[in-house]
Amino acid sequence: MAVKRLNPTTPGQRFHIANSFAEITTDKPEKSLIVPIKKSGGRNNQGRMTMRFIGGGHKRRYRMIDFKRANHGVAGEVLSVEYDPNRSAFISLIQYTDGEKRYIIAPNGIKVGQKIEQGPGVPPEIGNALPMSEIPLGSLIHNIEMSPGQGAKICRSAGSYAQLLGREDKYATIKLPSGELRKVLCVCLATVGSVSNNEHNLQRKGKAGRSRWMGIRPRTRSTAMNPVDHPMGGGEGRNKGGQARSRNLIYSQGQKTRALKKATSRLIIERRQSKRNSN
């Protein structure tokens, strides 16, 4: 994947850094695997706004992604690599030998015509999903299950991957993109390789209208509000607003958000390093 700069023929194109879509092979999705999406505009069933800054956006259809890879022993062939408006990663259409078609998250380097397999005993090649007990140590993996049969939950966004560091008893140790070291059951499935579209973070929208196309409305800074609207608002001139906090007086920096007695905390070997402590 690569990004491209456009000629600055308009103010919006001057700062726009776009995806080249060099890996995309078709622009027509598989009709049997798409369902409509109804937008809420941030409103609940009573019509009241419960989430701000949501509204508008281009019409989308959801692509049904196979995160479980449960059809073990059935080989498939990559038919296409496609753009998905609902996620940052690209997706691949797979046709299996039994005639079924499914979408999967496209790994980096996947090609049309490539063979894809899943389940115990398959070779640890790019795009294949197999238990972590059979993946060589040091491999890059994505689409990782947290519980057997649950479906992939970790490392699904563009360019993300984890590294398989070791195995002990029934647990495998993986290093997540955040730097966290965590234990996961060896019987959980993971896909070999990293997620496609790894330069997604280099893109720039170029203009405010592109955010509106994505369904994002303008966000008002809390320090620009009045005291009646936000605890950080008010004051003469431009004030910083004090310690950053939400409208409900919940501090947004330095406060722990993970439940103290969460059952899976025992599986975390080393926490991710916070940005505030790394400076």
Task: Give one DSSP letter per residue of 222-246, joined into a string.
Answer: GGGS-TTT-TT---SSS---SS-B-
| pLDDT exceeds 70 at position 151 | yes
Residue range 143-150: average pLDDT?
A: 96
* Amino acid, res. 174: I
Tell me: the pLDDT tens digits for 5-40? 999 999 999 999 999 999 999 999 999 999 999 999
Going by C-alpha positions, the residue among 126, 74, 123 that lies closest to residue 105 is 126
Buried-state track 144-180, b at ≥16 Cβ within 10 A, e below 16: bbeeeeeebebbbebbbbbebeeeeeebbbbbbbeee
- DSSP lists the bridge partners of residue 81 as 92
Tell me: the pLDDT tens digits for 172-201? 999 999 999 999 999 999 999 999 999 999
CB-count burial class (<10 Å; 0-12, 13-18, 19+) for 261: exposed
Rounded mean pLDDT of the chain? 94
| pLDDT exceeds 60 at position 278 | no
In which band, very low, low, confident or very high, does the pLDDT at 275 lie, cut at 50, 70 and 90? low
Going by C-alpha positions, the residue among 163, 151, 149 that lies closest to residue 194 is 163
Q: Are strands 101-105 and 115-116 parallel, antiparallel or unpaired?
A: unpaired
The 10 Å Cβ neighbour count of residue 128 is 21
Residue range(s) occupied by CATH 4.10.950.10 in the chain: 220-279
pTM: 0.91
Distance in angstroms (rounded) separating the CA atoms of residues 232 and 225: 8
pLDDT above 70 as % of the chain:
98
pLDDT above 90 as % of the chain:
92
Residue range 99-106: average pLDDT?
A: 97
Distance in angstroms (rounded) separating the CA atoms of residues 77 and 102: 10
| pLDDT exceeds 60 at position 130 | yes
pLDDT confidence of residue 279:
53
Tell me: the pLDDT tens digits for 35-89? 999 999 999 999 999 999 999 999 999 999 999 999 999 999 999 999 999 999 9
Give, in order, the Cα–Cα distances in Å from 275 to each of 22, 89, 178, 202, 254: 34, 25, 11, 20, 10
Tell me: the pLDDT tens digits for 79-96? 999 999 999 999 999 999
| pLDDT exceeds 60 at position 145 | yes
pLDDT confidence of residue 214:
96
Distance in angstroms (rounded) separating the CA atoms of residues 24 and 33: 18
Residue range(s) occupied by CATH 2.40.50.140 in the chain: 25-198
Superfamily of chain region 25-198: Nucleic acid-binding proteins (2.40.50.140)
pLDDT confidence of residue 171:
97
Distance in angstroms (rounded) separating the CA atoms of residues 19 and 4: 6
CB 79 within 8 A of CB 22: no
| pLDDT exceeds 90 at position 158 | yes
| pLDDT exceeds 70 at position 1 | no
Superfamily of chain region 220-279: Ribosomal protein L2, domain 3 (4.10.950.10)
